[in-house]
A and B are shown apart, each in its own frame.
Chain A
Amino acid sequence: MAHTASEILEGLAEIVAEETGLPTDAVVAEKSFTDDLDIDSLSMMTIVTHAEDKFGVRIPDDEVKNLTTVGDAVKYIEGAQG
């Protein structure tokens, strides 16, 4: 069953919190992964991998650079669900 956008945001926040130590409520849609959350390219790949597993989607490596904000990632995952 497809996850709703708010479920994806919640799940993604848990993944980001686990990887970075940030509180989950710091992970909101408009935040930039690099500029606001200070997530580097390698941590981003870890987050992407966990998100793929959690939501059962595939996020191609070439697509990751387009996921600037948390909201971009939520939107991508929402659209990529079968």
Chain B
Amino acid sequence: MTRPVLRQAEPVRCSRILAIAGERGDQVVTNDDVAGPIDSSDAWIRQRTGIVTRRRAAADVDVLDLAEAAARKAMAAAGLDGPDLDAVVLSTITYFHQTPSAAAVLAERLGATPAAAYDVSAACAGYAYGIGQADALVRSGAARHVLVIGAEKLSDFIDPTDRSISFLLGDGAGAAIVGPSDTPGIGPTVWGSDGSKAQAIRQTHPWSALQEDADAGWPTLRQDGQTVFKWASFQMAPVAAEAMERAGVRAEDIQVFVPHQANMRIIDQMVKQLGLPGSVVVARDIAETGNTSAASIPLATERLLAEGAASSGDLALQIGFGAGLVYAAQVVVLP
């Protein structure tokens, strides 16, 4: 008796990002709006973070609403409908349900059922993790069109009196569609984690604390700002440099640098460490949008494209880094 020879999925040679779109919370929150409870000022917040305003969503808008709005714009830009999507990869840390996944619910809302759908928990690196996975899914033949989303309603997890991270945070969603391509459009993903720094960016207490003590209060986010600044500024630049090296490009070949929009001071230091030439357009969406975690890279990219600072076909170096700690970087061709 002979055993049948299995057929494996037919690989595809290249993948690329077909469209990028975003949705920001519709409320503009100024530094003066958040300065009072942390005994701070507009000047101090600008000097330490580069943030002038952050965008936050209204109370009746949830993270799935933001994700859906961004996804619909990306699908329209790519000329794809729900049934064209084979997989939905959604990165979020602000969905209220442990299960089912936000991705499965979103896929149904988009008319994408029965697309494969799952959530990614990689905080501010979530979008770059998602792009890395989408690239692998498309090129392995596991999926033809993958919707990658970073969506966060971080304002649900802030403490107005927290001086470490809450005042940085905004709400938004960014979406990209990855599909097959005749030419290379996504360089190798350089990614990793460092759980030894798990406490550097954290939730104040686990949900189980509420079971034990109903007065434990709603968990919110905290960070050790100095530790995160040092790690992001000096240890992430080599990761971004490796992404360029593995993609076979040099700093002079890059048109756009889109780091996670964590803090303008981190962005400035990374640019310096990477030795990027002045010709490289650096995404600085944080000034107006704030830190939107997994949504920040696609939102910043979408802004550069919309404002004409970047063009279709440009090479963009992107790097996400955040709670975990986790990180991911890759060079992509902009849609």
Contact = CB atoms under 8 A, between A and B. Distances in A.
A42 B231 CA distance: 11
A40 B225 CA distance: 12
Contact of A41 (B226, B233, B234, B269): B226
B230 A61 contact: yes
A45 interface: yes
B265 interface: yes
Contact of B48 (A42, A46, A49, A61): A42
A18 B12 CA distance: 49
Nearest to B225: A41
B226 A61 contact: yes
The interface size bin for chain B is 10 to 19
Interface in A30-67: 40-42, 44-46, 48-49, 61, 64
Interface string B257-281: 0000001010001000000000000
A61 B224 contact: yes
B227 interface: yes
Contacts of A41: 225-226, 229
- Main secondary structure, interface of A, reads helix
A42 B226 CA distance: 6
A33 to B, nearest CB: 13
B232 to A, nearest CB: 10
Contacts of A40: 47-48
Nearest to B47: A40
B226 A49 contact: no
Interface string A19-35: 00000000000000000
Contact of B269 (A44, A46, A48, A61): A46
Contacts of B227: 61
A64 B226 CA distance: 9
Interface in B204-252: 224-227, 229-230, 233-234
Interface of A: 40-42, 44-46, 48-49, 61, 64
18 contacts: A40-B47, A40-B48, A41-B226, A42-B226, A42-B263, A42-B265, A44-B226, A45-B226, A45-B230, A45-B233, A46-B269, A48-B230, A49-B233, A49-B234, A61-B224, A61-B226, A61-B227, A64-B226
